[in-house]
Amino acid sequence: MSADKRLPVTEETRKELHDLKEPGQTYDDLLKELAQQRRRQELEQRFQELEEADRDELTSLSDV
């Protein structure tokens, strides 16, 4: 079941979203795409943090 909701934004934000939107693309599709990109960036950042933590905590084989 789909329900339409209004999301209040400033005119400046609306213009920015409009500039990002592809022809024929809905604002709903654009916002989904932006949310997915954000989740991917956060996941990538988390992986990088884990890799850095692993490097600091692991002992090199040459040191064993």
Digit-coded pLDDT (tens) for 13-61 = 999 999 999 999 999 999 999 999 999 999 999 988 888 876 767 666 7
Q: Of 12, 31, 9, nearest to 21 (Cα)?
A: 31
Q: Write down the pLDDT at residue 56.
A: 67
- Going by pLDDT thresholds of 50, 70 and 90, the confidence category of residue 62 is confident
Model pTM? 0.70
